[in-house]
Structure 1
Amino acid sequence: MSASKAAKKEAELEKARREKERREFKEAQELESLRRAFRRINKSGCGKITVDDVMVELEFLGCKMRRDEAALMVWEVDDDADGCVDWEELRDMFHRIRRDQSGFEPRKLFNLVEFIMHDKNANGCIDHDEGIATLCGQYGHEFVDQHVAAVFEEENAEKKMRFAQFAKLQQLAARSKNGSGLKPGASMVPQVKGLAAVMDPALSHLL
């Protein structure tokens, strides 16, 4: 092998090594963020997310939800049918939905977890641009950008995004990309503090 070919091969190997290191570092960061979200939702500290845990977290984020709706969020992820979500179930759910190409995996708890992963200051809001970028990574700019104005009707001077807005934008982007996608029996948007209730049967599909 000539010196130039050997150098080129070495450069390719070095590039692959660095890309692998970056990917592994990103995955490690993401896993730690997921663990942080699990600990935050698990208010009781029992090591499993309960229906009460979900309701308390949603109330903190400005959403009111009936107990049966919160129970559905847990049930969709509760593989061992013990009425709770343990770490392994949450982790498997997160990766399963990240790999999902159909767009029809149940996302109720996933949306909450993903929002919390970006709420690093635990103040109930995430950076507006970060939220947009997260959803664009899942659905593409063309399916997200067209709905931003509708979700953020007023000027967003603080550049913050609340959970209700994040979930609503995710819902609209998913419907644009996948068609209707509305599940039978879906009901109204949960009451959100500070926002007028919007009669939209699709948001219960997300929350």
Structure 2
Amino acid sequence: VCQASQQHSAQLRGTMSSAKDRNKAKAEADNEKQRRERERREFKEAQELESLRRAFKRMDKKGDGKIDVNELMEELEFLGHKVKPQEAALIIWEVDDDADDCVDWEEFRTMFYRIRDDTTGCEPRKLFNVVEFLMHDKNYNGSIDLDECVTLLYARFGKEVVDKRVREMFGQSDTEKNISFSKFVAIQKRSSNLKDGKQSAAMVPQVKGLAYVTDPSMQHLL
């Protein structure tokens, strides 16, 4: 009886030890998984910040650490969109927190992350759309890869919505691998309309009255 009891105790200790080993191994595996996910997230965030800095530097033509109306107009013209000075001023005004008629790096960075994380759709997106496009225009030629574009928009509008709009604009052909800024904005606008189930107007502020009006000339920038 004593021998049987001892054997049972040994088996029980072995079972408990095995369970502890399994739990320890699982905890170590979970910790390793979390570490890798954290490293991937930090790497992705660092890449995004570097792309954002590159876009700011590209728009800061004079290199004085600020983007003014003329610099914004010059970049938009390069992307195929000529805008009037007052239209460019409105885009600047939307994110110009210190009211100096320019966008500095801090305002630029704050604007990007605020609108990137916006889930209401109420934030003004005109400058954001330009910046997001420039961040992916790695060759500085005014176009971005179509596959990269739709992947970027999947997270915002959903794969089904984006794919539908891309097919409407490009058909089934895959010969056109790059898209211009105007098409990039058009895909976003059409995807947003389809997701919301209604047409949305481009709303821009009137500086004097701080009221919002529909300005057809600003439709191409959302």
CA contact (8 A) 1:104 1:181 kept: no
Answer yes or no: is 1:50 the counterpart of 2:79. no
Quick one: distance in 1 between partners of 2:169 and 2:92? 27
Answer yes or no: is 1:203 the counterpart of 2:213. no
- Residue 152 of structure 1 corresponds to 170
Q: Report which structure shows greater RCO (CA 8 Å, sep ≥6).
A: 1
In percent, how many aligned pairs have the same letter? 53
Q: Read off the aligned partner of 1:180 and give its amino acid letter.
A: Q
Cα distance, 1:153 vs structure 2: 6.4
Cα distance, 1:154 vs structure 2: 9.8
Quick one: distance in 1 between partners of 2:27 and 2:61? 52
1:181 corresponds, among 171, 187, 200, to: 200
Answer yes or no: is 1:32 the counterpart of 2:61. no
Return 132-141 or 26-35, whichever deviates more. 132-141
CA RMSD of aligned residues (A): 1.7
1:70 corresponds, among 80, 85, 88, to: 88
- Residue 154 of structure 2 corresponds to 136
Structure 2: runs of 5+ lacking an equivalent: 1-18, 204-212
Structure-1-length-normalised TM-score: 0.87
Cα distance, 1:148 vs structure 2: 1.3
Quick one: distance in 1 between partners of 2:166 and 2:98? 38
Q: Read off the aligned partner of 1:22 and give its amino acid letter.
A: R
CA contact (8 A) 2:144 2:179 kept: yes
Structure-2-length-normalised TM-score: 0.82
Larger radius of gyration: 2
Structure 1: runs of 5+ lacking an equivalent: 190-201
- Residue 17 of structure 1 corresponds to 35
